[in-house]
Amino acid sequence: MAKTHSEPELRPLADLDPIIHAPARLMVLTYLYVVESVDYVFLMRQTGLTWGNLSTHLTKLEEAGYVAIEKEFRGKKPHSMIRLTDLGRAAFREYKTSLQQVLNGLPDDQE
C-alpha cells in the first residue's frame, strides 16, 4: 500500500493577503522589500510594468498603507521616491511565512 500523506492544511491559502497576492504587486513589493526606496523609473525597469499599470498597483498599495510615496527634491526638481512602510514590511513578511508554511506542507509528487 502506498504511503499516504497527511492532508496539508490549505486554509491559510484563502487567508493570504489579496493586496499582496496579485503577481504585479507581489513583484513590486519584492523589490521594495530589499531596498530602502526607489523611484518610478527604477521600479518600471525592474518589473517590466508600464507607467499606467505600475501607477495603478502603487495606488492600491498606498491605499492599503503598505507603501509610502514621498516627494524629495533633486536639485530644484521634485522627485518621488517609493518605500515600503512598516505595515507593508510586516504584511509582506507575514504573507511570505504563510505561503511558505502551506507550500512546505505539500508533498513533492502526487501518487
Closest CB 72 distance from another protein, rounded Å: 10
Residues 6+ apart with CB under 8 A from 9: 102, 105
Element (H, E) at 60: helix 51-63
Residue with cell 518610478: 40
Residue 5 or 93 with smaller CB distance to another protein: 93
User: In the complex with another protein, which residue's Cβ is closer, 11 or 77?
Assistant: 77
Task: Give the separation between CA 45 and CA 61, rounded to whole angstroms.
Answer: 19
In angstroms, the Cα distances linking 33 to 37, 58, 91, 105 are 9, 14, 11, 25
Complex with another protein: residue 10 or 41, whichever CB lies closer: 41
Least distance between another protein and beta carbon 35 (Å): 5
Residue 55 CB, nearest approach to another protein (Å): 7
Per CB under 8 A, residues contacting another protein are 27, 30-31, 33-48, 51, 55, 74, 77-81
Q: How far is the CB of 84 from another protein (least distance, A)?
A: 10
